[in-house]
């Protein structure tokens, strides 16, 4: 006599159900863990960065709201499929909606950062273009999910979704290479400056590898294994990697507040004091006051507390 599961479903369906259980459990466990990190980082951001522009605070609130919706939709989907509608037609992929928007917002966020640190506007424009294309294709797949029954797994759907994940991965790699290149161009002669730039570059590389690798794994498991659910863990986690990427980019500024050294990067790229006159900022390398470094200004805003001066960087 077979197991109760085999009696209910039939022996042929048991491996399919086990695979769905396994991938859903792994994906949900990892995604809710990442959501916990998001909550912590949002708390740290609003506690420490009260002077940030309203638009930047809105972006943080937006991505966290979308991240919360992703967690809620994942919980609802799992409970509905495994409890309420078990052995019935699967429900729509609700995660596709916030995931598409999170990817778009995150990549536009980095495109804006790069726009301010490079004289060559083609690269950030290309990044923004790819982000818009991914958004458009993501909207197409979302509409088809809710309007065409059983569209997931069809060749056409796999091709479109594969383009979304592939272009998103290319965009993440482009963002990482661009940020690393333009940041390393601004290395100065002081050890403190080089340490700061090296830290930001290391973080940028790690962020790009994480998001790009997840997108590529999502692409391979989604397109390469049709009819399987191996893609679910990557599908549930990729949006949360983007959210934590944005939040950690903003929160990393706090670690430099405790650095005692004055950072000077030479005549072209220096930190600036907000009370300096324009002429003093232009010749900041000849004054005793620190001046402004645009490259790090817009990649990771930094401020240092002091009784007589307060170094600030525009977001």
CB–CB of 168/239 below 8 Å?
no
Dist. CA 247–CA 233, nearest whole Å: 22
Q: Note the pLDDT of residue 103.
A: 92
- The predicted model scores a pTM of 0.75
Q: What is the mean pLDDT of each run of 10 residues along the chain (315 residues)?
A: 49 73 91 94 87 89 94 86 66 71 93 85 93 92 80 80 91 90 74 74 84 91 84 90 91 64 38 38 41 45 40 42
Q: Note the pLDDT of residue 229.
A: 84
Rg over alpha carbons for the chain, rounded to the nearest Å, is 23
Of 186, 211, 210, 299, give the one whose Cα is nearest residue 253. 299
Dist. CA 114–CA 96, nearest whole Å: 27
Question: What residue has token string 């998103």?
Answer: 168
| 51-80 confidence digits (pLDDT tens) | 888 999 999 999 999 999 999 988 888 888
Task: Name the fold adopted by 4-256.
Answer: Rhopdopsin 7-helix transmembrane proteins (1.20.1070)
Q: Note the pLDDT of residue 307.
A: 40
Question: What residue has token string 């536009």?
Answer: 108
Question: What residue has token string 């620190």?
Answer: 290
Q: Note the pLDDT of residue 110.
A: 92
Q: Note the pLDDT of residue 154.
A: 78
Q: Note the pLDDT of residue 242.
A: 93
Q: Note the pLDDT of residue 144.
A: 83
Q: Note the pLDDT of residue 266.
A: 37
Dist. CA 97–CA 214, nearest whole Å: 18
Q: Note the pLDDT of residue 294.
A: 44
| 302 C-beta neighbours (distance < 10 Å), count | 22
Q: Note the pLDDT of residue 250.
A: 87
Dist. CA 185–CA 166, nearest whole Å: 29
C-alpha of 40 from chain center: 16
| 196-215 confidence digits (pLDDT tens) | 777 778 888 888 888 999 99
Can you give the residue ranges of every domain in the chain? 4-256
């Amino acid at each position: 006599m077979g197991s109760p599961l085999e009696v209910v479903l039939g022996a042929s369906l048991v491996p399919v159900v086990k695979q769905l259980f396994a991938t859903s459990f792994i994906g949900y466990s990892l995604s809710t863990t990442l959501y916990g990190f998001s909550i912590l980082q949002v708390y740290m951001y609003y506690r420490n960065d009260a002077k940030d522009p309203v638009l930047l605070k809105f972006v943080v609130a937006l991505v966290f709201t979308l991240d919360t919706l992703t967690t809620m939709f994942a919980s609802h989907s799992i409970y509905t499929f495994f409890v309420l509608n078990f052995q019935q037609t699967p429900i729509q992929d609700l995660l596709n909606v916030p995931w598409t928007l999170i990817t778009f917002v995150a990549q536009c966020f980095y495109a804006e950062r790069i726009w301010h640190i490079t004289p060559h506007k083609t690269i950030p424009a290309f990044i923004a273009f790819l982000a818009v294309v991914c958004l458009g294709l993501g909207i197409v797949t979302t509409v088809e999910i809710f309007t065409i029954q059983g569209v997931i797994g069809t060749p056409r759907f796999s091709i479109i979704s594969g383009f979304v994940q592939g272009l998103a991965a290319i965009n993440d790699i482009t963002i990482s290479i661009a940020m690393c290149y333009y940041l390393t161009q601004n290395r100065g002669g002081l050890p403190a400056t080089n340490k700061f730039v090296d830290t930001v570059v290391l973080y940028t590389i790690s962020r790009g590898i994480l998001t790009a690798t997840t997108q590529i794994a999502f692409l391979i498991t989604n397109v390469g294994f049709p009819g399987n659910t191996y893609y679910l863990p990557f599908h549930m986690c990729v949006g949360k990697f983007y959210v934590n990427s944005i939040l950690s980019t903003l929160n990393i500024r706090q670690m430099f507040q405790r650095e005692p050294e004055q950072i000077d990067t030479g005549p072209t790229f220096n930190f600036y004091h907000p009370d300096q006159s324009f002429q003093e900022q232009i010749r900041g390398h000849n004054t005793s006051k620190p001046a402004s470094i645009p490259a790090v200004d817009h990649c990771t805003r930094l401020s240092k507390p002091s009784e007589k001066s307060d170094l600030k960087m525009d977001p």
